[in-house]
Amino acid sequence: MNKIFKDGFLWGGAVAAHQLEGGYQEGGKGLSIADLMTLGDKDHPRELTDTIEKGKYYPNHKAIDFYHHYPEDIALMAEMGFKAFRTSIAWTRIFPNGDETRPNEEGLKFYDNLFDECLKYGIEPVVTLSHFEMPYHLVTEYGGWSNRKLIDLFARFATVCFERYHDKVKYWMTFNEINNQTNYDSDGSVYENSGIKFKDSDDREQMMYQAAHYELVASAQAVQIGHAIDPSLQIGCMLAVCPIYPLTSKPEDILFANRAMDTRLYFGDVHINGEYPNWLTAYFKNKNYNLDITDNDLTILKNGTVDYVAFSYYMSFAVQYPGHMNYRESTDLVKNPYVEASDWGWQIDPVGLRYAMNWMTTRWHKPLFIVENGLGAYDKMTKEHEIHDDYRIEYMRNHIEQMKKAVDEDGVDLMGYLPWGCIDLVSASTGEMKKRYGFIYVDEDDYGNGSMQRYRKDSFYWYKKVIASNGEDL
Ligand code: BG6
């Protein structure tokens, strides 16, 4: 048996409520931002509509109907030998509008049942509080996270969740991929993270830093609340980690790549060190950004640092010095000639995973938890209901190999590996079903047609073997 990964290493998989549950109006659930995102594709971004418009398709309404299928789905994960299952709690099941004073019992009960179902098989639930699915009411009535009032509303939601589930859920995360909004030119990213819809006159960058500040304070407050309710809870942050390489060894390219990486990952500095890095404070000053950051906020940040660093890893980026030091993600990325890309253009780079794990360990000295990784790909089911997804196996094998080196040769402290979309689900960026990540195939197309039957892919049997051998048999 492989001794590289520690006892209790959390092998499993990850999903998010809005991408698989469906039942968008069941159990007293309110409308979330995800319920107002239409189907898109890799060339057409999802529309963010103000109401549910006739003639448009909203894939998250039905998703894969996990709301009703979860016993069957969790049983399949147990069959693979999962030790952990990451999902999120849809805020709108607990507080349908986000600003009620009392939670919705039916929503709370759903997650009781789901977590009990996991625990029945010895599967540890790993839970994200906010995963791109905030109540839409908070967008229309408050302007999303551009409003400081959301800090208290989030604290109420977090308190209810910690109090209710602390006996069932030990591992928590506050905000999923809080740093995607670094790309403030992407309407979808800022909407998913912060519930903000920009007007033409808005200073997008400044608004993003303000919203992110409120989220970081809300996160730090949630960490303190969770620890006060139950000191044994492990509460982490969650970052989208895409290491950023300089395209050449030209000193300016190297300097700029560093700044780009600092810009994407300062969120981690605040979560982990409890303070803003010097370069960013200087940046705010030089840009004349007058952000609402109070002394009390800074104390909360200091006292609410996270226990571990959860992250997603799909790809790496590269940049070239653009003549100034202000990283702008929508324009500054260049193609890296040394790596290939997926059908959706995501650069595939297993070595980048090892690089990132080393970078984070040296910088933050915290346990790391891979809570997303995987290949979104087109799958084909044969007449015999088989899915030969060797490309997915290859992707994951290469990444697990690098993960092993990071642990074994570089001394990285790794808690677990939870590949994304362990069961096929709705893509966050495009809304498609055909961008599949799962070990479990769901017979459903982009428009929700299909039998909804679940089938084991080749990768299902492969991953089962990987878990059983603790990563030895790849
Ligand atoms: C991460 C998100 O961005 O990557 C998930 O946390 C998302 O919600 C995943 O689904 C894969 O992205 P996509 O766009 O292929 O679904």
Tens-digit pLDDT profile for residues 419-468: 999 999 999 999 999 999 999 999 999 999 999 999 999 999 999 999 99
Alpha carbons 239 and 261: distance in angstroms, whole number: 12
435 CB near ligand 1 (under 6 Å): yes
Alpha carbons 341 and 28: distance in angstroms, whole number: 42
Alpha carbons 3 and 274: distance in angstroms, whole number: 34
Question: Where are the extended beta strands (E) located within 201-333?
Answer: 234-240, 244-246, 308-312, 317-319
**End-to-end alpha carbon distance in the chain:** 13
The CA 339 to ligand 1 mean position distance, Å, reads 20
The CA 286 to ligand 1 mean position distance, Å, reads 34
Does pLDDT of 1 surpass 60?
no
Q: Which long-range contacts (CB under 8 A, 24 or more apart) does 24-29 make?
A: 24/60, 24/61, 24/62, 25/61, 26/67, 27/67, 27/93, 27/104, 27/106, 27/107, 27/109, 27/110, 28/93, 28/96, 28/104, 28/106, 28/107, 29/90, 29/92, 29/93, 29/96, 29/104, 29/107
177 CB near ligand 1 (under 6 Å): yes
Q: Given the residues 21, 215, 372, 432, select the one marked as catalytic.
A: 372
The CA 460 to ligand 1 mean position distance, Å, reads 20
Looking at CATH, the fold of the domain delimited by 10-468 is given as TIM Barrel (3.20.20)
Does pLDDT of 72 surpass 60?
yes
Band (pLDDT 50/70/90 cuts) for residue 3 is: confident
* 117 tagged catalytic: no
Region 336-343: mean pLDDT is 97
pTM of the model: 0.98
The CA 50 to ligand 1 mean position distance, Å, reads 23
Alpha carbons 444 and 453: distance in angstroms, whole number: 8
The CA 74 to ligand 1 mean position distance, Å, reads 20
Region 393-399: mean pLDDT is 98
Alpha carbons 369 and 225: distance in angstroms, whole number: 22
Question: In b/e form, how buried is each residue of 439-467, taking b as 16+ CB within 10 angstroms?
Answer: bbbbbbebebeeeeebbbbebbebbbebb
Name the closest-CA residue to atom 16, ligand 1.
427
| Token representation of residue 403 | 């993960």
The answer to whether residues 314 and 350 touch, using CB atoms and an 8 Å cutoff, is no
420 CB near ligand 1 (under 6 Å): yes
Residue with tokens 């890309």: 341
428 CB near ligand 1 (under 6 Å): yes
Band (pLDDT 50/70/90 cuts) for residue 268 is: very high
Sequence-distant (6+) residues with CB within 8 A of 34 are 18, 19, 60, 132, 133, 192
Tens-digit pLDDT profile for residues 427-440: 999 999 999 999 99
ipTM given for this complex? 0.99
Tens-digit pLDDT profile for residues 16-28: 999 999 999 999 9
Tens-digit pLDDT profile for residues 178-201: 999 999 999 999 999 999 999 999
The answer to whether residues 198 and 204 touch, using CB atoms and an 8 Å cutoff, is yes
| Token representation of residue 253 | 């390219």
Structure confidence at residue 2 (pLDDT): 56
Tens-digit pLDDT profile for residues 87-146: 999 999 999 999 999 999 999 999 999 999 999 999 999 999 999 999 999 999 999 999
Name the closest-CA residue to atom 15, ligand 1.
427
Where helices occur in 230-277 by DSSP H, the ranges are: 251-273
The answer to whether residues 463 and 437 touch, using CB atoms and an 8 Å cutoff, is no
372 CB near ligand 1 (under 6 Å): yes
Residue 191 parent element (H or E) = helix 187-194
Burial class (CB in 10 A: 0-12, 13-18, 19+), 221: buried
Residue 10 parent element (H or E) = strand 10-14
The ligand 1 atom at the shortest distance from the C-alpha of residue 427 is 16
Question: In b/e form, how buried is each residue of 250-285, taking b as 16+ CB within 10 angstroms?
Answer: eeebeebbbbbbbbbbbbbbbbbebebeeebeebbe
Among 427, 430, 434, which residue has the most ligand 1 atoms within 8 Å of its CB, making it the best to mutate? Answer: 427
178 CB near ligand 1 (under 6 Å): no
Among 134, 429, 432, 436, which residue has the most ligand 1 atoms within 8 Å of its CB, making it the best to mutate? Answer: 429
